[in-house]
Structure 1
Amino acid sequence: MRVSKDMISPDLRKGYYAGRLIAHLYHHQWFARFALNMARKFMAGKNTDGLVCEQRYIKIPGSASPLRIRIYKPEHVSGPLPAMLYLHGGGYMTNIPEMFAASFSAFIAAHPCIIVAPDYRKSVEAPFPAAFDDCYNTLLWMKENAAALGAVDEQFIVAGDSAGGGLTASVVLKVTDTNDVKIAFQIPLYPMIDDRQNTSSCLDSNAPVWDAINNRLGWELYLKGAASPTSPYAAPSRADDYSRLPPTITFVGSIEAFRDETVSYVERLREHNIPVAFREFEGAFHAFDYFFPKTEIAKQATSFLLQSYKEYVTRYFS
């Protein structure tokens, strides 16, 4: 889908050229690696005002190095609290948890919870299943250490955006297969879940922030050396059975590359009568809420997300 400036929501149009620049920079693997290194150098370990923050390193089976995780808790709130595994976005190839501190603060303010965010391995350094293994094993670690975290151990929330939304869908898909952990609900925001890249919204996309070229590079790096056919744990759109998935919250922009795969994911969940809170925001491009949070449409998306989150905690959490 070709996107012109006049297709964009009026209050996002001022971000059109900045968004196209972001997309252009991430057309190149070297820039993804550079951005990751800069984030690690200047942001890793940075705490968030108003939250109790902690950093730990945990062992991941099959990995030579321990995994860095960030833990975020509310101040002056006693447990046990709901625990959320949050998986950040970045096309599977870049970014670190600290870059999403505003989201952690918003969730905790909406309803107190404990957030664990792994700095999972990125595809510029290690392809699938490295990131998936890191995220899945972090969830297992959360269950094993729930008491020490001050968290409820009976069930968990899994959330993430973009590639983190894809990892959310992947982790939840596996945990419903293994029954290792019970999931209260999931929040895969505008998820990157279809490596085939053949939907009308993705084909030839030139939308701001994330376009068809970004998407091709992201999947090439993530699936480098992976077996064929692609595992559903890498690309959840390939899964045959959605019947055991938990209640879901998500939203997507109408002009972004992931629009069609997100809508298809929602429709398949609803076919199995799985509760879904879903909104499509007209004229919004990828990650508009992250890059332009002060716009009216981003505020509407955030309000929908947090209100749905509060309702789902009340409805589905023990």
Structure 2
Amino acid sequence: MSRRELIDPEVRVPLDQLLEALPGGFNAVADIVERRAAVKAMLAAIEVPDNPRVRKEDRTIAGVHGEPDISIRVYRPVDATTDLPGIYFIHGGGMILGSVDGEDPIATLLCDRVGAVVVSVEYRLAPENPHPVPVEDCYRGLVWTAEHARELGIDLDRLAIFGASAGGGLTIATALMARDRRGPALTFMMPIYPMIDDRNQTSSSYEITDIGIWDRSGNIEAWAWYLGGKPADQYAAPSRAEDLTGLPPAFIDVGTVDLFRDEDIAFAQRLMQAGVPTELHVHPGSYHAAETFAADAALSTRIWALRVDALRRALAG
């Protein structure tokens, strides 16, 4: 049986449509500029109505020590009258793609359904900006968020960090930095199918070669661009971290037809062994980002219900 036959039939429909329009998927577009344009065009074609319950504001974090400014987007429920829990949001894209705009619907969903202030960071991308630039941008945005919590209406005792794919890897890396640098205290972290191991030696990394969404060859390429020829440390590839103690309670989910399946399961087990309260979900038939490509599928509904419930419980106070 091929791996594609293991995909849930309902979430497979948009994947087949994507591959029909773009044979080989996004990673088949060799030029990174053209690839980013293709992703942007696809996301722009998805009509998502504005949510009148969420107010958005674009802000700028001033650069320090010669570094450029960082853009962020702040989401807040329009009817909020008191301080709310905060979710620091890191978009995905394999360290080489993605943007705040591209994941605006997800950040809006979290703001609305969790009842939280969401701060989404526009970190710089590889290959133009290899490690450690992206994670340093993410950490700087987290520090700014904590420093401006009162202004933003965030209860600092209820601050979570969220990200999917590369954003999931950066979520863990940023949490490691916050622990090691004695930075902002995080109540909870939710790395979704995180990209965390540059070695590409797990069984699932060899299995997922022709799904069309983040296959083995694309992952190897992205890691090479992200590392820029330098060895990976724990802030680049959190699977390499030797000490996981002191990290915030975690929620991790991944699909059975996702290249990151085995590295994510192994990392969740290590968190548990380190004494970190960890909730792990492995979704049968789900490929990488299936709940985004097939947002109305029953599988996607179940996935989002679990995530929202976990965030609400963690941030209830």
Q: 1:158 to 1:33 in 2, by over 3 A?
A: same
| 1:250, distance to aligned residue in structure 2 (A) | 1.7
| 1:22, distance to aligned residue in structure 2 (A) | 7.6
Residues 54 and 112 in structure 2, CA contact (< 8 A), matched pair in contact too: no
Unaligned runs of 5+ in 1: none
| 1:96, distance to aligned residue in structure 2 (A) | 1.0
| 1:24, distance to aligned residue in structure 2 (A) | 2.8
Deviations 1:127-181 (A, max 9, x none): 1111111100000001111111111234521100000001001000111112211
Hey, what does 2:13 align to over in structure 1?
A: 14
Pick from 224, 231, 237: which aligns with 2:228? Answer: 224
Q: 1:216 to 1:49 in 2, by over 3 A?
A: farther
Deviations 1:10-34 (A, max 9, x none): 2223234235448532242343343
Hey, what does 2:311 align to over in structure 1?
A: 309
3-state SS, counterpart of residue 84 of structure 2: coil
Pick from 272, 276, 279: which aligns with 1:277? Answer: 279
**What's the C-alpha RMSD, in Å, of the aligned pairs?**
2.4
3-state SS, counterpart of residue 60 of structure 2: strand
| 1:47, distance to aligned residue in structure 2 (A) | 7.2
Hey, what does 1:116 align to over in structure 2?
A: 119
Query: Residues 25-174 of structure 1: matches in 2 within 5 Å?
Result: 25-27=26-28, 28=30, 29-35=32-38, 49-62=52-65, 64-174=67-177
Hey, what does 2:199 align to over in structure 1?
A: 196
3-state SS, counterpart of residue 257 of structure 1: coil
Hey, what does 1:261 align to over in structure 2?
A: 263
Residues 43 and 102 in structure 2, CA contact (< 8 A), matched pair in contact too: no
Residues 88 and 160 in structure 1, CA contact (< 8 A), matched pair in contact too: yes
The separation in 2 between residues aligned to 1:192 and 1:161, in whole angstroms, is 8
| Normalised TM-score (structure 2) | 0.90
Q: How many residues align?
A: 310
The answer to whether 1:212 aligns with 2:216 is: yes
Deviations 1:214-262 (A, max 9, x none): 1011111111143x3x110010000001111111112100011000011
The separation in 2 between residues aligned to 1:69 and 1:114, in whole angstroms, is 13
| 1:291, distance to aligned residue in structure 2 (A) | 1.1
The separation in 2 between residues aligned to 1:134 and 1:250, in whole angstroms, is 23
Q: Tell me which moved more, 301-310 or 54-63.
A: 54-63
Residues 82 and 152 in structure 1, CA contact (< 8 A), matched pair in contact too: yes
Unaligned runs of 5+ in 2: none
Q: 1:82 to 1:89 in 2, by over 3 A?
A: same
Hey, what does 2:294 align to over in structure 1?
A: 292
Q: 1:175 to 1:285 in 2, by over 3 A?
A: same
Q: 1:126 to 1:35 in 2, by over 3 A?
A: farther
| 1:86, distance to aligned residue in structure 2 (A) | 0.2
Residues 60 and 137 in structure 1, CA contact (< 8 A), matched pair in contact too: no
Give the residue type in structure 2 aligned to 1:297: L
The separation in 2 between residues aligned to 1:65 and 1:42, in whole angstroms, is 31
Q: 1:257 to 1:125 in 2, by over 3 A?
A: same
| 1:301, distance to aligned residue in structure 2 (A) | 0.5
Give the residue type in structure 2 aligned to 1:220: A
Residues 40 and 96 in structure 1, CA contact (< 8 A), matched pair in contact too: no
3-state SS, counterpart of residue 84 of structure 1: strand
Q: Tell me which moved more, 13-22 or 202-211.
A: 13-22
The separation in 2 between residues aligned to 1:22 and 1:257, in whole angstroms, is 19
| 1:63, distance to aligned residue in structure 2 (A) | 5.0
Residues 155 and 181 in structure 1, CA contact (< 8 A), matched pair in contact too: no
| 1:36, distance to aligned residue in structure 2 (A) | 6.9
Residues 11 and 293 in structure 2, CA contact (< 8 A), matched pair in contact too: no
The separation in 1 between residues aligned to 2:120 and 2:170, in whole angstroms, is 12
Identity %: 28
The separation in 2 between residues aligned to 1:299 and 1:291, in whole angstroms, is 12
Residues 254 and 280 in structure 1, CA contact (< 8 A), matched pair in contact too: yes
